Chain A
């Protein structure tokens, strides 16, 4: 048995080295969105607005990550403790506006992870602007060969509940399922529910207080910590094991519950299960 001890020690060293290498690897994270990413509360101050970014930075550092927030903007530069203030939080911007500029932002900052919270200023049920944005990110990935893990948030609602945001979020969920099925590296976090913002967590009808932003930071942190789960291709392929895709009217996938529902015409030869 004694001769195995050096081997065990070697394996232990390797495994510890592996962990430290993993933790030492710098995470290049782009906080991307509008004023909620910028961190506006009940007033605008680019020197003190931190939003979820400062508490998230602190949580990631505390967990041993080496973090580099990236972006062409700097917001929260006079806040203590000092944190990495780089971001792409553009107050008042819609997803359509972000889509117009994202290629340049990515080219100059090369993030590995994007935290995307956008749609509050769209004020529509449609997620067409987010789809444009994802298309532009795909464009960047294809031209640079650099893959990005995009973590998209179902966005927080307003203090006075806005049903349009809930519908927008449902459409966002469908969009993410469709894009994941097509091979995009996307994860969805439910900020609307999981941040669990109370009325007292809002500084005004749109923006959280710093306490509210800290709740958002925890949701982002958990999403970053969760190992990426690729799309379950067998689930997505189920309808076409029964009928030709020409007959299928719509498909809806719930990856959390691993369910698929769809509507289809019955072909002349029937559907065999």
Chain B
């Protein structure tokens, strides 16, 4: 019973620490004119009153290419 308690505690600690891997990419502040790749689940938010982006996409693929045209924006992965 004591061993089971110790194993469970260890498991909780490991899960709490994120298992030591698989962390997502950091958020990226976009620079005008630079190309970025975004995937399903990513989000782009603007940091200025207005911001315009260019998006290029190939049918059937999960990824798209984006480029900030004006304003300020951040990619949240």
Binding site for B on A (CB under 8 A): 232, 234-235, 238-239, 242, 249, 257-266, 268, 270-273
| Cβ-based interface call for B52 (8 A) | yes
Binding site for A on B (CB under 8 A): 38-46, 50-60, 64, 69, 71, 73, 76
CB within 8 Å: A-B pair count: 64
Task: Decide if the interface of chain A is mainly helix, strand, loop or mixed.
Answer: mixed
A259 touching B58, Cβ below 8 Å? yes
Nearest to B48 among chain A residues (CB) is: A266
B59 touching A235, Cβ below 8 Å? yes
Contacts of B42 in A (CB 8 A): 272-273
Partner of A266, one of B38, B52, B57, B60: B52
In the bound complex, how far is the Cα of B35 from the Cα of A248, in angstroms? 19
In the bound complex, how far is the Cα of B7 from the Cα of A258, in angstroms? 53
Task: Decide if the interface of chain B is mainly helix, strand, loop or mixed.
Answer: strand
B73 touching A266, Cβ below 8 Å? yes
Whether A272 touches B43, Cβ cut-off 8 Å, given contacts A238-B59, A266-B71, is: yes
B64 touching A273, Cβ below 8 Å? yes
B71 touching A259, Cβ below 8 Å? no
Contacts of A249 in B (CB 8 A): 52
Contacts of A257 in B (CB 8 A): 58
B53 → chain A closest CB, angstroms: 6
A260 touching B69, Cβ below 8 Å? no
A266 touching B58, Cβ below 8 Å? no
Among all A-B residue pairs, the 10 with the closest Cβ atoms: A270-B45, A266-B46, A258-B59, A261-B56, A235-B59, A266-B51, A271-B44, A272-B43, A273-B42, A263-B54
B42 → chain A closest CB, angstroms: 5
In the bound complex, how far is the Cα of B58 from the Cα of A257, in angstroms? 8
A94 → chain B closest CB, angstroms: 35
Whether A232 touches B43, Cβ cut-off 8 Å, given contacts A249-B52, A263-B69, A265-B50, is: no
Nearest to A252 among chain B residues (CB) is: B56
A261 touching B52, Cβ below 8 Å? no
In the bound complex, how far is the Cα of B59 from the Cα of A232, in angstroms? 9
B52 touching A265, Cβ below 8 Å? yes
In the bound complex, how far is the Cα of B38 from the Cα of A266, in angstroms? 15
- The residue in B40, B42, B59 that gathers the most chain A C-beta atoms within 10 A of its C-beta is B59
B41 touching A273, Cβ below 8 Å? yes
Q: List 26 A-B contacts (CB under 8 A).
A: A235-B59, A238-B57, A239-B55, A249-B52, A257-B58, A258-B59, A259-B56, A259-B57, A259-B59, A260-B57, A260-B59, A261-B54, A261-B57, A262-B55, A264-B53, A265-B51, A266-B45, A266-B46, A266-B51, A266-B71, A266-B73, A270-B43, A270-B45, A272-B42, A272-B43, A273-B64
